[in-house]
Amino acid sequence: MRIFVITGAGVSAESGIPTFRGEDGYWRNFDPAKLATPEAFACDPKLVWQWYRERRQRIREAQPNAAHQAITKLAQYADEFLLVTQNVDDLHARAGVPAEKMVQIHGDIFVTRCSRCHFQFREEGRGGTPEPSVHCTQSGRLWSIAPTSAQREERSIAPTSAQREEIPMCPKCDELMRPGVVWFGEQLDPDKIDIVERFLARGHCDYAIVIGTTATFGYIIDWALRANASGGELIEVNPDETPLSTFATQRIHEPATIALPRLIDQICNP
């Protein structure tokens, strides 16, 4: 059986990671769709880094949920499987989807890369570990607004080291470093596109399952429809309607942690 899965921020929402477009998506009154842009970084790199550090920390403290686990089960069950996730978190990986069966099409939030040369590194450390300090050459303010551990929704103003406020600089070329994610308006990694294209070109998918995404990007709709072109199932799991809904052979208007374990049991035990 060949199975193609696409996930978006909705699959991690029940792990406590806000989606961009949900009620909880705004960060200190900033619109994520405007912060996740090259323009925002050029204008205020410190602000953008603050946002990413807080998101990293929130992801470190989160755990994979029943939907991530159900997708892992499907990856083990299928003869051929590919997961394309738009999520920059690592919850699919931590739930056990092997790297060779997954494409993080919008990058990896734990990667820090130079905005000019090819230098990059990935933060390690999980489960409540703080954001590691980075080598910096720019000075920063002494105050940051960080979520408290006791009540994550409330934000307190707490002093922190100057280092944490700073912007990492490339040790090779001294240019600003940035998070290793794809921002709105940027190109996708061609090597990742190739992996998806080759999977789709190799043959018919019995199931294409699209979970927790607004499907606003043309390539997401295109891949989902192509996976379904020769007549398999196209299943959408999302409490809301999306541009893909009209093409779905099955629509499940439920949260992912409710829908996925049941759906995947049905697929794995026909």
**CB nearer to ligand NAD: pick between 22 and 98:** 22
Angle between helices 66-77 and 256-268 (to 10 degrees): 20
Q: Which does 173 bind (CB under 5 to 8 A by kind): ligand NAD, Zn ion, none?
A: Zn ion
Q: Give the one residue of 114, 238, 244, 248 binding ligand NAD; rule: CB under 6 A.
A: 238
Residue 252 found at the interface with ligand NAD (CB under 6 A): no
Q: Are 196 and 227 in contact (CB under 8 A)?
A: no
Q: Are strands 233-237 and 207-211 parallel, antiparallel or unpaired?
A: parallel
Choose the one of Zn ion, ligand NAD, none that binds residue 19, judging by a C-beta under 5 to 8 angstroms depending on kind: ligand NAD
- If you ran DSSP here, which 8-state letter would residue 258 be given? H
Kindly name the residue from 106, 135, 204, 253 that is annotated as catalytic.
106
Q: Which residues contact 89 (CB under 8 A, 6 or more apart)?
A: 12, 17, 59, 62, 109
Q: Which stretch binds ligand NAD (CB under 6 A): 84-92, 113-121, 125-133, 146-154?
A: 84-92
Local structure of 111: helix, strand or coil: strand
Residue 251 Cβ vs ligand NAD, minimum distance, rounded to whole Å: 12
What character string, x for contact with Zn ion (CB under 5 A) and - otherwise, covers 112-131?
A: --x-xx-x------------
- Whether the Cβ atoms of residue 6 and residue 56 lie closer than 8 Å to each other: no
The smaller minimum CB distance to ligand NAD, of residues 64 and 168, is found at 64
Handedness of CA 104, 109, 111, 114 (dihedral sign): positive
Phi, psi values for residue 100, rounded to 5°: -75, -10
Neighbours of 52 (CB within 10 A): 22
In the bound complex, what is the minimum distance in angstroms from residue 107's beta carbon to Zn ion? Answer: 17
Q: Closest CB to ligand NAD among 17 and 170?
A: 17
Q: Which is nearer to Zn ion, 22 or 171 (CB)?
A: 171
Answer for the pair 67, 14: CB distance below 8 angstroms, yes or no.
Answer: yes
Lookup result for tokens 């991530």: 68
Cα 246 from chain centroid? Answer: 25
- 204 is an active site residue: no
Pair type for strands 120-122 and 107-114: antiparallel
CB within 8 Å of 195: residues ≥ 6 apart: 82, 103
Binder among 4, 20, 199, 223 for ligand NAD (CB under 6 A) = 20
User: Does residue 104 bind ligand NAD (CB under 6 A)?
Assistant: no
Q: Is 26 an interacting residue with respect to Zn ion (CB under 5 A)? A: no
Query: Binding of ligand NAD at residue 72 (CB under 6 A)?
Result: no
Q: Among ligand NAD, Zn ion, none, what does residue 117 contact (CB within 5–8 Å per kind)?
A: Zn ion
Q: Which does 135 bind (CB under 5 to 8 A by kind): ligand NAD, Zn ion, none?
A: none
Binding mask 32-71 for ligand NAD (x = CB under 6 A): ----------------------------------------
Binding site for Zn ion (CB under 5 A): 114, 116-117, 119, 170, 172-173, 175
Which residues are tagged catalytic? Answer: 106
